Chain A
Amino acid sequence: MPGMTELGAPALAFRGVTAGYKGRTVLHGVDFEIAEGEFVSLIGPNGSGKSTMLKTATGLLKASEGSVEVFGREVSSLKPRERASLIGVVPQKLDSPMAFTVGEIVMLGRNLRGRWTGLEGRDYDSVEKAMIYTNVFDMKERRFNELSAGEQQRTALAMALAQEPRIIMLDESIAHLDINHSQEVLRILMNINREEKITVLLVSHDLNLAAQVAGRLMLVQHGRLVINGSPDEVMQPELLSRVYGCELRVRRDPLSGNPVVSGALDELLRRPQARKRLHVICGGGSGIELFRRLSIEGFEVTSGVLNRLDSDAEAARALDIPCVLEQPFSAVGEEAFRQAAEMVSEADGVVIAPVPIGPGNLVNLRLAAEALDAGKPVWIASGLDKRDYTPGKEAAGLSAKLRKAGAVEWKGIQELTALLNRAWPESKR
């Protein structure tokens, strides 16, 4: 409908938009523009505000500050029908409780356009065209709920297209589809984007898929745009790792040249079967985080001697970590020490946690000394002097001896894992 909208205005513009729900602000001053004919993807972790942004863009949610413009017109000032003729939305999943057929569902995209029954030839044409584009024409007599998930999403897309919108927005609409179905929907989208010059805004948490199809990516975190640029600009490993809070890598797809992001899981899988074993000397809760982290890093972990009921002993039991135990509140006895020494002799190294040392568990440090004698590396948490509760400061003395004999001090789990990586590069673990 020419004349209705401003010529050359961006298809969608957020200007300092703040929006949210009752008592909870989700978007904080979001600014961007999408030009007509662009294919843009909105990406970001779960709960980052992507869906809220889409709801705000469609006028379902009102911005508390700033303005949302669609083709130069403030979205909240649009009449419902005008809005529907500019914006088409494909939901995450279209749900029709009543037994409408595919044809009837697609017609609903057109129903409110004409008067009550006054659908004209043009309306039927656009419905047919939408169904042919999305390849659901042949199933128009079938009931919507009998369709596969992919067919249902194509029907939802057909319904949105029947509105003849100028921008189409998809809210994770292909997230739950098989790869063949999601590729099919994407192909349709790229087609209508190229041939009909319909602007596409694809909300997705699938980074690779977004980078594959979109000309521009907008990365959202905590309701703010972190970066807005080409896939190459956005797909930076450090940036993505920071936003998603986990280690991510980016490489290039050899066929398409597209950036492809992947997690570090593949390295876990490539690890050889024979894993390095670490014996952890801990107690009083100092070992819980170590157990967890070392297991994730791919080490086999053993522990002891610990007292039963100690929180580390409980954690070891929960994590299935082999452990030598002594009676609660008792000093480490000879039998337990002998078993632990045997365990250490089978380990590849020893880690001493920031555990307080008293007369009862002082002997545990001797385990580390034995490991050093056997030529095995030992990592000792720094600051043992402050945790020394033995009468004659024996622990501090022992710790100094250990360090002289080659034990390496560590401070914080990050440093420890770095040290371990240096000793045993991941690929050799």
Chain B
Amino acid sequence: MKGGDGCRPMIVKGSPVNRRRALLLAAAIPLLLGLSLLLGPSGIGLPDTSSISGRAIIDLRLGRFVMGMLVGAALSTSGTVFQAILRNPLAEPYVLGVSGGAGLGAALSILVGGGILGAAGLPVTAFFFAVITLFAVYAIAGQGGGVPSVYSLILSGVIVSAICSSVIMFLVSTANVEGMHTVMWWMLGNLQPSSWGDQIVALVLIAGASVALWLLSPALNVLTLGREMAHYQGLNAGLVTVSSLLLATLLAATAVSMGGMIGFVGLIVPHVMRAIFGPDHRWLVPASAFGGGAFLVLCDALARIVMAPIEIPVGVVTALAGGPFFLIVLRKRMKYAWND
């Protein structure tokens, strides 16, 4: 049975439109690369590559770009997935306590040392703590028995998050001066990679988890209709839910361990991307990754120059600069993202 006169009607809405928008987003990445190579607290413009210090500056700025892309992508993709699985626009790594748990793990790792794990010690500890936090949040929320409601999940997430930050504060207050300084500096959000090892670990973990989630995106689409419907549509709903939650937690934990506690990206970038690309996760997951990365790189570039030679924490810029812009976008296009 054919609809219309032989030509197939377009069933998936807005694919060509999305393709155009995706091209625009992709084109923004090299522009941002150029921008972040040009901007820095040491001055605007490409440094002299013939001098040693010039090459070092280029290296630093390139490292910042890569880290910004990775951490932004991780936070934003993680938020997208949490929102899809919990079917709630409030869900994101911070609200669920996952970032808080990762932060606690990272702080411990910084103060005690990564031990035998080397460069991977920080993200692994952070992930370990984030997963424990996620389980704790689920256990607290599900106390009445059965599958916990979204509201109780978010409530217990906020509570567990508060507990984690108290413990971090306690650790910081009892640490020696050097440790305190490192943890505080890390918590404020800092995208300067300490080593190439860091960057490779982050790249492997973040790219791997993001691609895995992209492969799961048709399943995520079905899951937005609820676990029960997903089961009827032929999905192993429990398995997909658990694996996507773990992957999203891994993303958030890696981002937190690499970049510190950078808020706002995981909550707002997914919303904006959903408003632009629609709720189809086959588009949304990659769009969130690139959008989140681009957003964080841009914010980081601003953080370096607005008060040069002093750098301000990138987390400050994400909220201050991103907030108003995103509010405008969301006001206009929220109806393309969520139903009220």
A residues adjacent to B (C-beta < 8 A): 21-22, 58-60, 80-85, 87-89, 91, 94-101, 103-109, 111-113, 116-117, 121, 124-125, 127-129, 131-132, 137, 140-141, 143-145, 159-160, 163
The minimal Cβ–Cβ distance linking A174 to chain B, given in whole angstroms, is 17
B59 contacts A by Cβ under 8 Å:
no
- Stretch of B118-126, B152-160, B178-186, B213-221 that contacts chain A: B213-221
B335 at interface by CB-CB < 8 Å: yes
**Which of B7-15, B61-69, B105-113, B241-249 sits within the interface?**
B7-15
Stretch of B38-46, B230-238, B254-262, B306-314 lying at the A interface: B230-238
Binds A, one of B92-100, B273-281, B322-330: B273-281
Interface on B for A, CB 8 Å cutoff?
1-3, 8-9, 11-13, 84, 87-89, 145-146, 215, 218-219, 221-222, 224-226, 228-229, 231-236, 274, 278-280, 282, 335-339
- Cβ of B76 to closest chain A Cβ, rounded Å: 17
Residues on A with C-beta less than 8 A from B338 are 97-99
18 more contacts with CB within 8 A, not counting A100-B278, A104-B279, A111-B233, are A80-B236, A81-B234, A84-B232, A84-B233, A95-B226, A96-B225, A97-B88, A97-B339, A99-B337, A100-B280, A101-B13, A103-B12, A104-B280, A111-B221, A116-B218, A117-B282, A128-B1, A128-B9
Known A-B contacts A98-B274, A99-B335, A100-B279; the reply to A140 vs B11 at CB < 8 A is yes
Which of A101, A106, A116 contacts B215 (CB under 8 A)? A116
In the assembled complex, the CB of A387 is this many whole angstroms from the nearest CB of chain B, namely 49
How far apart are the CA atoms of A83 and B232 in the complex, in Å? 8
Q: Chain B interface mostly helix, strand, loop or mixed?
A: loop
Task: Assess whether B221 is in contact with A95, with CB atoms less than 8 Å apart.
Answer: no
User: A-B pairs with the 4 shortest C-beta distances?
Assistant: A84-B234, A98-B279, A145-B339, A89-B232
- A80-B234, A128-B9 as given contacts; A98 in contact with B337, CB under 8 Å: yes
Residues of chain A lying within 8 A (CB to CB) of residue B146: 21-22
9 residue pairs of the A-B complex, CB under 8 angstroms, read: A58-B232, A94-B229, A98-B84, A98-B224, A104-B12, A111-B233, A113-B234, A116-B215, A124-B11
Q: How far is the CA of A257 from the CA of B88 in the complex (A)?
A: 49
Q: A97-B87, A104-B12, A104-B13 are in contact. Are A85 and B339 (CB under 8 A)?
A: no
- The CA of A111 and the CA of B231, in the complex, are separated in Å by 13
Write out the residue numbers on chain A whose beta carbons fall within 8 Å of the beta carbon of B3: 128, 131-132, 137
Chain A positions within 8 Å of B88 at CB level? 97
A96 touching B235, Cβ below 8 Å: no
| Contact residue among A83, A88, A98, A129 (Cβ-Cβ distance under 8 Å from B1) | A129
**For B231, what are the chain A residues with a Cβ–Cβ distance below 8 Å?**
58-60, 80
Q: Complex formed: what's the CA distance from A284 to B211 in Å?
A: 76
Select from chain B the residue with minimum beta-carbon distance to A121. B8
**A103 pairs with B226, CB closer than 8 A:** no
Chain A: minimal CB distance from B127 (Å)? 27
List of A residues within 8 angstroms of B224 by Cβ: 96-98, 100
The residue on B at minimum CB distance from A105 is B225
A62 → B minimal CB distance (Å)? 12
Q: How far is the CB of A410 from chain B (nearest CB, A)?
A: 49
Partner of B235, one of A112, A121, A159: A112
Q: Which residues of B contact A60 (CB under 8 A)?
A: 228, 231-232
CA distance A124 to B11 in the complex (A): 8
CA distance A160 to B225 in the complex (A): 13
What's the minimum C-beta distance from B4 to chain A, rounded to whole angstroms? 9
Contact B232 A87 (CB under 8 A): yes
B11 CB → nearest A CB, Å = 5
Cβ of A116 to closest chain B Cβ, rounded Å: 6
Closest residue to B11 on the A side, CB-wise? A103
Q: Are B222 and A108 in contact (CB under 8 A)?
A: yes
Shortest distance between the CB of A129 and any CB in chain B (Å): 5
CA distance A58 to B9 in the complex (A): 33
- A84–B225 Cα gap in the complex (Å)? 15
Complex Cα distance A409/B8, Å? 82
Residues of the B chain whose Cβ atoms lie less than 8 Å from the Cβ of A121:
8
Kindly provide the distance from the CB of B74 to the nearest chain A CB, expressed in whole angstroms.
Answer: 22
